[in-house]
Structure 1
Amino acid sequence: MELLGIHHAAIICSNYPRSKYFYSEILKLNIINEHHREKRNSYKLDLAMPDGSQVELFSFEGAPSRPSYPEAQGLRHLAFKVDNVTKAKEYLESKSVAVEEIRIDEITGKKFTFFADPDDLPLELYEV
């Protein structure tokens, strides 16, 4: 077996319209497909990243909140590659998204910072 890359990351959101707006309008991910699953009363939204990977948004009634931030067991955060962390931070802040101060990765020397989606899911910008 040879893993070729990451196909998608799946996120369950508490407020589907709010998260759809955040990921498609603020983060500018392109919508591939959107489905309402009547039997589950839930939505599934497929969003494309420039490299071909995807982010999937789901809505499920009664889904529990994340237990703690950010050190709960499981996926710690989702990191996005950017060419310029400083410009990306300024853009997000212009859209009223709170962004932490830029830090330097001790091992790689690369810039990175964190922000959160509408459900407080930790997201990272990592300069490549």
Structure 2
Amino acid sequence: MTPLRIHHAAVICSDYARSKRFYSEVLGLRIVAETYRAERDSWKLDLALADGTQIELFSFAVAPPRLSWPEAQGLRHLAFAVDDIDANVEALAQKGVKVEPVRIDELTGARFTFFFDPDGLPLELVEPVRP
């Protein structure tokens, strides 16, 4: 087996309209496709980042909430690489998104910060160290 890259991550939300607005308007991800599946009473929204990586946003009527605190096993967070973390933090703040203070990763030297989607899913911005 030789995986090439991550194709997509799937996120289940509690309020489809609110999360659709957050991921498409606040984060600026491009909407690729939107599908309503009547048999499941579920929406599926395919969103793309500039490099083609996708996020699939799902809504399900009876999805249980995700445990975040204390940290549970499983996917910890989604991280987005950015060229200018300060500009991205400012853009999020202008849209009303609370962002933690920028820190420096002690192992890599990269600058990073966390914020949360409407359901409390931890999202990270990371500005990789340039060679």
- Deviation >2 Å, runs of 4+: none
Q: Residue deviations 1:13-47, cap 9 Å, x none?
A: 00000000000001000000000000000000000
* CA separation of 1:70 and 1:79: change in aligned 2, threshold 3 A: farther
Is 1:58 aligned to residue 58 of structure 2? yes
Q: How many Å separate the matches in 1 of 2:69 and 2:87? A: 26
Q: Residue deviations 1:62-90, cap 9 Å, x none?
A: 10001233611110000000001111111
Preserved CA contact (<8 Å) 1:99 1:114: yes
Is 1:118 aligned to residue 118 of structure 2? yes
**TM-score after normalising by structure 2:** 0.95
Q: How many Å separate the matches in 1 of 2:84 and 2:110? A: 10
Preserved CA contact (<8 Å) 1:80 1:124: yes
2:95 aligned residue: 95
Preserved CA contact (<8 Å) 1:70 1:77: no
Structure 1 vs Structure 2: percent identity of aligned residues?
62
After TM superposition, the structure 1 = structure 2 runs for residues 59-74 of structure 1, keeping only pairs within 5 Å, are 59-69=59-69, 71-74=71-74
**SS of equivalent residue, structure 2 residue 86:** helix
* CA separation of 1:109 and 1:70: change in aligned 2, threshold 3 A: farther
Unaligned runs of 5+ residues in structure 2 are none
**TM-score after normalising by structure 1:** 0.97
